[in-house]
Amino acid sequence: MTRDPDVPVEELWQRFHELVNMTSRELTDWLGTSEELAPDPAQRAPALGVAVLGILRKRRTDLTGDDRDIMWQVISVVEDETAGRSTAELLSDERRRYRLLNVGHDPIKAG
């Protein structure tokens, strides 16, 4: 899905939730975070993952322009990282697998 400002919010919301297949609880556990950020920057959860958590806790009607930008970014990450790759390939590439998990896409659930 190419970033298009004319895509209806409902369509963007649906695509985002198709790709973000982890619950907010699962993503929170994966990121090892709570509402507040760790004091040590090296221990902080990835900002994009934290932003995804914020969106997962919202209703579609409460989305902001920034939320929509984040949703497009996540769609891009997941589509780029998974394009033409099998679940086995995704699971065997630790960097790719972690990047997907950090934005709420679990390749095991997708396969």
Is 34 a residue whose pLDDT tops 70? no
Tell me the domain boundaries of the chain.
9-110
| pLDDT confidence band for 35 (50 / 70 / 90) | very low
Mean pLDDT of the chain: 87
What are the CA-CA distances from residue 51 to residues 10, 25, 37, 87 (Å)? Answer: 19, 14, 12, 25
The contacts of residue 76 (CB under 8 Å, 6+ apart) are 3
Q: Are 51 and 102 in contact (CB under 8 A)?
A: no
Residue percentage of the chain with pLDDT more than 90 = 69
Q: Which of 9, 8, 3 is nearest to 64 (CA)?
A: 9
Q: Please give the backbone phi and psi of residue 3, each rounded to the nearest 5 degrees, phi first.
A: -55, 120
Max distance between CA atoms of the chain, in angstroms, equals: 40
Per-residue pLDDT tens digits for 49-94: 999 999 999 999 999 999 999 999 999 999 999 999 999 998 899 9
| Residue 3: C-alpha distances to residues 6, 68, 105 (Å) | 9, 10, 19
Average pLDDT of the residues in 85-110: 92
Which is higher by pLDDT, 91 or 43? 91
